[in-house]
C-alpha cells in the first residue's frame, strides 16, 4: 500500500477485504482487516479463496481518498479481487488528496427549477460500472434547482438527468447503456471544479 507524500498514521487506516457474496456456511470468508505498517506495507493472512471487494477505511478524517487499486500488471479499481491463495500480497492501494467537484443548476426551458430529476455522474469506461465502483455519484437538486456532486476521482465521466429513477438502478450496466445517449461528457483532472447548467423539458 502506498500513500503519497505525507504520512497517514495520525488518521489511521485499515485495509479490508469483504466477500462479494457473504456465505454464512463459510465461517472464514471475511471480512479480513489489516493495518499497514509505518512504511505502508500490508499483508492479509489466511484468506479463504473467493471474490472480494477491497477498500481502504480511515478511522478518522484525513482528507485522503482511495484512488487506485492495482495488482501486478492490472488496474482493478472498482472491481472484485479474485483471491486464490491464503495470503494476499502484490496489491497496491494508492491514495490521493485530489478530488473534483461539479455543481450547477437544473431548470426547465421556462427557467423553473426541476428538483424532481436525479442527476447521475458515472464513468465513461464501462469497467467501472458496478456497485463496487467509487466513481458512480448521484444527487438531487434542492428546491431552487441547485446541486453539488463532490469527491469525484480524476477521469472522464458522463452526466445524465433522470426522471422517475429507481434507487440503485444505475448499478446495472444495461441501464447505463440505455440512458447514455442523452448524457454529456465531463472530464476532471485533480481537484478541478466544474459548473454546468442543465435544461429539461417543461412538465
CATH assignment of the domain containing 138: 2.60.40.10
Global pTM value? 0.71
Does a structural domain hold residue 155? yes
On whether both 156 and 92 belong to a single domain, the answer is: no
Q: What is the largest CA-CA distance in the chain?
A: 61
Residue where a domain terminates, one of 47, 62, 96: 96
On whether both 129 and 162 belong to a single domain, the answer is: yes
Does a structural domain hold residue 2? no
Does a structural domain hold residue 25? yes
Of the pLDDT bands very low, low, confident and very high (cuts 50, 70, 90), residue 4 is very low
On whether both 32 and 110 belong to a single domain, the answer is: no
On whether both 59 and 146 belong to a single domain, the answer is: no
Is the model's pLDDT at 5 over the cut of 90?
Answer: no
Q: Collect all residues with Cβ–Cβ distance below 8 Å to 67 and sequence separation of at least 6.
A: 77, 94, 95, 96, 153
Assign residue 45 a region: left if phi > 0, alpha if psi is -120 to 50, beta otherwise? beta
More confident site: 65 or 141: 141
On whether both 28 and 112 belong to a single domain, the answer is: no
On whether both 88 and 42 belong to a single domain, the answer is: yes
On whether both 155 and 187 belong to a single domain, the answer is: yes
Residue where a domain terminates, one of 66, 96, 126: 96
On whether both 136 and 169 belong to a single domain, the answer is: yes
Assign residue 168 a region: left if phi > 0, alpha if psi is -120 to 50, beta otherwise? left
Domain extent, residue 150, equals 100-200
On whether both 120 and 196 belong to a single domain, the answer is: yes
Q: How far apart are the first and last CA of the chain?
A: 51
Does a structural domain hold residue 36? yes
d(CA 172, CA 22): 20
Percent of the chain at pLDDT exceeding 70: 84
Instruction: Report the domain count for the chain.
Output: 2
Does a structural domain hold residue 84? yes
On whether both 167 and 183 belong to a single domain, the answer is: yes
On whether both 54 and 135 belong to a single domain, the answer is: no
Residue where a domain terminates, one of 54, 69, 96: 96
On whether both 175 and 90 belong to a single domain, the answer is: no
Summarised one tens digit per residue, pLDDT across range 122-136 is 999 988 887 777 788
Does a structural domain hold residue 31? yes
- Give me 51's grid cell: 471474490
Q: Collect all residues with Cβ–Cβ distance below 8 Å to 112 and sequence separation of at least 6.
A: 145, 202
Are 28 and 46 a contacting pair, CB within 8 Å?
Answer: yes
Does a structural domain hold residue 4? no
Summarised one tens digit per residue, pLDDT across range 77-104 is 777 888 887 667 677 888 888 889 999 9
d(CA 67, CA 78): 10
Does a structural domain hold residue 8? no
Summarised one tens digit per residue, pLDDT across range 28-51 is 666 888 888 777 788 888 888 888
Highest mean pLDDT among 26-30, 58-62, 196-200: 196-200
Amino acid at each position: 500500500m502506498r500513500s503519497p507524500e505525507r504520512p497517514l498514521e495520525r488518521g489511521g487506516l485499515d485495509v479490508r477485504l469483504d466477500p462479494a457474496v457473504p456465505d454464512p456456511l463459510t465461517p472464514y470468508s471475511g471480512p479480513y482487516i489489516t493495518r499497514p505498517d509505518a512504511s505502508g506495507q500490508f499483508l492479509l493472512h489466511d484468506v479463504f479463496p473467493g471474490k472480494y471487494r477491497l477498500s481502504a477505511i480511515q478511522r478518522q478524517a484525513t482528507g485522503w481518498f482511495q484512488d487506485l487499486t492495482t495488482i501486478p500488471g492490472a488496474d482493478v479499481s472498482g472491481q472484485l479481487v479474485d483471491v486464490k491463495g491464503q495470503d494476499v500480497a502484490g496489491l497496491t492501494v494508492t491514495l490521493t488528496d485530489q478530488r473534483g467537484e461539479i455543481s450547477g443548476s437544473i431548470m426547465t426551458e421556462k427557467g423553473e427549477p426541476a428538483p424532481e430529476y436525479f442527476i447521475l455522474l458515472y464513468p465513461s469506461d464501462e469497467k467501472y460500472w458496478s456497485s463496487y465502483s467509487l466513481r458512480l455519484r448521484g444527487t438531487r437538486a434542492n428546491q431552487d434547482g441547485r446541486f453539488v456532486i463532490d469527491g469525484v476521482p480524476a477521469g472522464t465521466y458522463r452526466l445524465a438527468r433522470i426522471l422517475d429513477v429507481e434507487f440503485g438502478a444505475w448499478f446495472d450496466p444495461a441501464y447505463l447503456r440505455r440512458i447514455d445517449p442523452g448524457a454529456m461528457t465531463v472530464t476532471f483532472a485533480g481537484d478541478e471544479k466544474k459548473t454546468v447548467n442543465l435544461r429539461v423539458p417543461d412538465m
